[in-house]
Amino acid sequence: MQQSGSQASAVSISSDRAFLWRLCTSAWLLRLAIIILYALTHAIKRFDLSLDHIQYDNQGVLVMNAMNYGDFALKSWIDDGWFQFVGLIYFLLWPSPFLVQLINITISTVTVIPLFLMVRELTSDVRVQRFYAVLIAFFPSIMFWSTLMLKDSAAILAVALVIYGVFVLRQRFSIWPLLGLLAGLTVFIGTRTYLLIVIVMLMPAAFLLFPSGKSRIPLRAVVLPALIGLVPMAIGYGYFASGEFQRSMYFDIEYINHIRGSMATGSGSLFEDGEHTWGRGIGSDILLAVTTLFAIFVPVNPFDLANVRQLVALPFVLAMLYLVPPLVRGFRHMWRMRRLTAPIMVIATGVLAVYIGGTSNTGALFRWTAQIMPYFLLAVSLAAFTRQRSLLARFATWSVMAFSQPRRVALAY
């Protein structure tokens, strides 16, 4: 294995397989400890950590009862598929949120693998590769949402599979990344069809923007997005989801403003009444976008925490505030590598735009933008070792070596 940097080559380190096994096992066990703690203390209901968690449990029981009478409601798997999935788990095994939480923490842990494989092709620096995997495995917001029975773990994995698939297929044809890409799009059919529409429509740009230095665009970069455009047709959305884009309420400005208005009346609202709507002028729209973007990184005021849910967000806020400088440096690095990072930037920016456009509540932003947090963390990882004596570089080196060294080397080092 190629090693870069004096600290990475100063001692023997384990193989990528051993590193991933050690990291993913540790991440899974920590998540398991958290959901066991939830179960023992009833913290989710007691501290009102997630109303949607409770709703999925209640609806899952109803779906299970319908399945007991042979009603599997196949059409309901489109967009509302997570309710059906929870009901199916209850039907096949046992009506317990703990089972779905076990599935979610496993999905969240598996997400590390395609993202690690992607960054391994992006840079030869072993420290960057492994620090990125550590961040994905243990970052506070990704950890928190994966321990509930929500569909966010599946959505985070779906985005990762799509981005990894396009990233690899831009460079060469490979069947497994293609199957992963299609699997990610299938997950969006059942969980968030609006993201399916946006991502499929972005496919040509993700494949064709900033091509390599070759004089001709590879045929697969044209053929593959054209074929992927057929996926929405399977559920009646039209080629490249063009028909659904025109008629879907998710892309109607009045509906979007209505949703933003309903979010603006509850706790966590970003705006005063009437200030949440789009279309009141260019200056107003820019201010709305900038305010919402800021709230992605600072969803709560760390000096005014009103409940346990906001307290849970505090580690995320503190981490993001500290990581802003390396994040900016990392974005510059990603731009310089745009021939490789183009699909990451295109798809992550598209997902980010969806949530900036449709969300006016900090709680919703904290949850939904966990889907693109891995790509912010990629920028952080790329910049982590540019200043060797910084606290971030020292922490990154320590965390990488904690999961990289064979035990006999770790004890002697």
H or E segment to which residue 169 belongs: helix 152-171
pLDDT reading at 399 higher than 90 = yes
Question: What is the number of other CB atoms lying within 10 angstroms of the CB of residue 411?
Answer: 8
> Domain spans of the chain?
111-403
> Following CA atoms 34, 309, 292, 237 in sequence, which dihedral angle do they give, to the nearest 10 degrees?
60
| CA distances from residue 6 to 3, 90, 105, 159, 197 in whole angstroms, order as listed | 9, 52, 35, 34, 46
Residue with tokens 């970052």: 139
Q: What is the pLDDT of residues 124-177, one digit of tens each?
A: 999 999 999 999 999 999 999 999 999 999 999 999 999 999 999 999 999 999
| CA distances from residue 36 to 41, 141, 251 in whole angstroms, order as listed | 9, 18, 40
Question: What is the number of other CB atoms lying within 10 angstroms of the CB of residue 329?
Answer: 17
% of the chain residues with pLDDT over 90: 71
pLDDT reading at 108 higher than 90 = yes
Query: Angle, to 10 degrees, between the axis of helix 373-383 and the axis of helix 112-122?
Result: 40
Find out whether 152 and 367 touch, Cβ atoms under 8 Å: yes
The amino acid sitting at 264 is A
CA distance 410 to 413: 5
pLDDT reading at 407 higher than 90 = no
pLDDT at 12: 66
Q: What is the pLDDT of residues 196-239, one digit of tens each?
A: 999 999 999 999 999 876 667 889 999 999 999 999 998 888 89
Q: CA nearest 112: which of 34, 55, 31?
A: 31
> Following CA atoms 49, 51, 52, 58 in sequence, which dihedral angle do they give, to the nearest 10 degrees?
120
Determine the average pLDDT of the residues in 175-194: 96
Q: Which residues of 270-283 are buried (b: 16+ CB within 10 A; e: fewer)?
A: bbeeebbbbeeeee
**Greatest Cα pair distance in the chain:** 65
CA distance 246 to 228: 19
> Following CA atoms 123, 125, 129, 132 in sequence, which dihedral angle do they give, to the nearest 10 degrees?
-100
Q: What is the pLDDT of residues 250-264, one digit of tens each?
A: 777 888 887 777 776
CA distance 106 to 25: 10
pLDDT averaged over every residue in the chain: 89
Find out whether 267 and 363 touch, Cβ atoms under 8 Å: yes
Which residue would you say has higher pLDDT here, 212 or 32? Answer: 32
Determine the average pLDDT of the residues in 334-346: 96
pLDDT at 353: 93
Q: What are phi and psi of 361, to 5 degrees?
A: -130, 130
pLDDT at 257: 80
pLDDT at 273: 61
pLDDT reading at 36 higher than 60 = yes
pTM for the model stands at 0.92
pLDDT reading at 1 higher than 50 = no
Lowest mean pLDDT among 26-30, 300-304, 331-335: 300-304
Find out whether 3 and 9 touch, Cβ atoms under 8 Å: yes
Find out whether 185 and 200 touch, Cβ atoms under 8 Å: yes
% of the chain residues with pLDDT over 70: 92
Q: Report the number of secondary-structure helices (H) and strands (E) in the chain.
A: 22, 0
